[in-house]
C-alpha cells in the first residue's frame, strides 16, 4: 500500500542531540497548543520530551492493527491518519480521520480497538503507554486534559452516530465537507477551499456509503452550485449557509 513518494516523512520537531539543554524541542512544537501537550507548563516539557520518540510514516503505511496489544499512544504532528474497523468479509468502517494535533489511542484499553493507517505522509510523537500513565500521576493537568479530550470525542462520535443512522447521502456529504472545513480552521489553516487528503473510497467508508454514491452526490452538490471543485481533493464552498442547511436536514 505504501507509496513512498518521499522515502520517510520528515519529523516536524526532529530529535535533537540529547545534550542537557535548557530548552525542550517540545517547546518549539508548532502543534503543541492543539495537542495533549498543551496541558503541561513549558517547564515540564523537557520531561515530556524525554519520554517521546518521533516517528514518520509514508502514505499507506500502517501504524497499528486492531487487536494488537495497545502499547503506545501517539500525537499527530503533521499529515492525516485514518482509523478503521473491519468486518470478517472485508466491509470497512472508517471511525475517524485524524489531523495535526489530534491524539491517537484515547479509546483503546488492553488492545487497539481499531487499525490506524496513514492517509498522507505523517509525523507522530510516540509515547509508551506506561510512561504516559506515570506522567499522568505526577501531572494532574494531563489527566484533566485527557478527560476533556475524551468528552469532546464522545460528543463528536454522537454526531457521527446521528449522521450514520438518520442522514441521507446528500446530508452526509454536506456534513463531511463542513466538518473538514471547521477542523482546518481550528488548526489555523484556511477553511475554504477544503483540502481532502483522503480518496473517495475512504470518504465512503467513513460516511457509510460507496465510492460511487460519494462521487454522484458530490457531483449533484456541484451542479446545484453549493460547491465547486478545484480538484478532486480540493472543494470550494460557494454557499456555506446553504450547505449548513443541507447538512442539518432542513
Q: Which residues make up the interface to a copy of itself (CB under 8 A)? A: 85, 87-89, 91-93, 95, 106-109, 113-114, 140, 143-144, 146-147, 150-155, 157-158, 160-162, 164-167, 205-208, 248-250
**SS3 state of residue 64:** strand
Asked if omega into 64 is within 30° of 0 (cis), the reply is: no
Residue 106 interaction partner, one of a copy of itself, DNA, none, beta carbon < 5-8 Å per kind: a copy of itself
What is the distance between the alpha carbons of residues 86 and 38, in angstroms, rounded to a whole number? Answer: 33
199: contact with DNA by CB under 7 A: yes
Nearest distance in Å: CB 221, DNA: 10
Nearest distance in Å: CB 232, DNA: 4
Closest to 94 in 3D by CA, of 187, 167, 10, 199: 199
Cβ closer to a copy of itself: 109 or 231? Answer: 109
Cβ closer to DNA: 5 or 151? Answer: 5
Name residue, grid cell 438518520: 166
Cβ closer to DNA: 51 or 169? Answer: 169
DSSP letter for 44, please.
G
Q: Which stretch binds DNA (CB under 7 A): 9-17, 26-34, 118-126, 167-175?
A: 167-175
Altogether, the residues listed in the chain come to a count of 250
Closest to 182 in 3D by CA, of 117, 243, 250: 243
Cβ closer to a copy of itself: 42 or 168? Answer: 168
Q: Which stretch binds DNA (CB under 7 A): 28-36, 119-127, 138-146, 211-219?
A: 211-219
Residue 75 interaction partner, one of DNA, a copy of itself, none, beta carbon < 5-8 Å per kind: none
163: contact with DNA by CB under 7 A: no
What is the distance between the alpha carbons of residues 42 and 105, in angstroms, rounded to a whole number? Answer: 24
Torsion angle of the four alpha carbons 182, 188, 191, 195, in this order, in degrees rounded to the nearest 10: -100
Nearest distance in Å: CB 74, a copy of itself: 16
201: contact with DNA by CB under 7 A: yes
List, in sequence order, every residue forming a beta bridge with 197; answer none if it has no partner: none
What is the distance between the alpha carbons of residues 41 and 38, in angstroms, rounded to a whole number? Answer: 7
Closest to 15 in 3D by CA, of 113, 108, 90, 125: 125
Cβ closer to DNA: 18 or 223? Answer: 223
List, in sequence order, every residue forming a beta bridge with 236; answer none if it has no partner: 228
Nearest distance in Å: CB 205, a copy of itself: 8
Residue 95 interaction partner, one of DNA, a copy of itself, none, beta carbon < 5-8 Å per kind: a copy of itself
Amino acid at each position: 500500500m505504501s507509496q513512498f513518494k518521499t522515502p520517510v516523512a520528515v519529523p516536524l520537531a526532529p530529535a535533537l542531540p540529547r545534550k542537557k539543554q535548557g530548552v525542550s524541542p517540545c517547546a518549539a512544537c508548532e502543534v503543541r497548543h492543539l495537542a495533549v501537550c498543551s496541558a503541561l507548563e513549558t517547564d515540564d516539557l523537557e520531561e515530556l520530551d524525554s519520554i517521546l520518540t518521533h516517528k514518520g510514516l509514508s502514505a499507506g503505511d500502517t501504524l497499528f492493527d486492531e487487536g494488537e496489544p495497545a502499547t503506545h499512544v501517539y500525537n499527530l504532528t503533521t499529515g492525516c491518519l485514518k482509523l478503521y474497523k473491519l468486518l470478517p468479509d472485508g466491509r470497512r468502517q472508517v471511525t475517524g480521520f485524524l489531523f495535526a494535533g489530534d491524539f491517537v489511542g484515547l479509546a483503546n484499553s488492553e488492545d487497539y480497538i481499531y487499525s490506524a493507517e496513514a492517509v498522507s505522509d505523517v509525523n507522530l510523537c510516540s509515547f509508551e503507554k506506561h510512561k504516559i500513565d506515570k506522567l499522568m500521576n505526577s501531572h494532574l493537568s494531563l489527566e484533566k486534559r485527557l478527560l476533556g479530550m475524551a468528552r469532546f470525542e464522545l460528543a463528536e462520535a454522537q454526531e457521527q452516530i446521528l449522521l450514520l443512522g438518520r442522514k441521507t447521502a446528500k446530508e452526509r456529504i454536506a456534513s463531511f465537507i463542513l466538518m473538514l472545513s471547521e477542523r482546518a480552521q481550528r488548526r489555523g489553516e484556511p477553511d475554504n477551499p477544503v483540502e481532502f487528503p483522503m480518496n473517495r473510497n475512504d470518504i465512503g467508508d467513513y460516511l457509510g456509503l460507496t465510492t460511487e454514491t460519494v462521487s454522484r452526490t458530490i457531483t449533484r452538490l456541484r451542479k446545484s452550485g453549493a460547491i465547486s471543485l478545484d480538484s478532486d481533493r480540493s472543494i470550494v464552498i460557494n454557499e456555506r449557509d446553504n450547505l449548513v442547511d443541507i447538512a442539518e436536514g432542513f
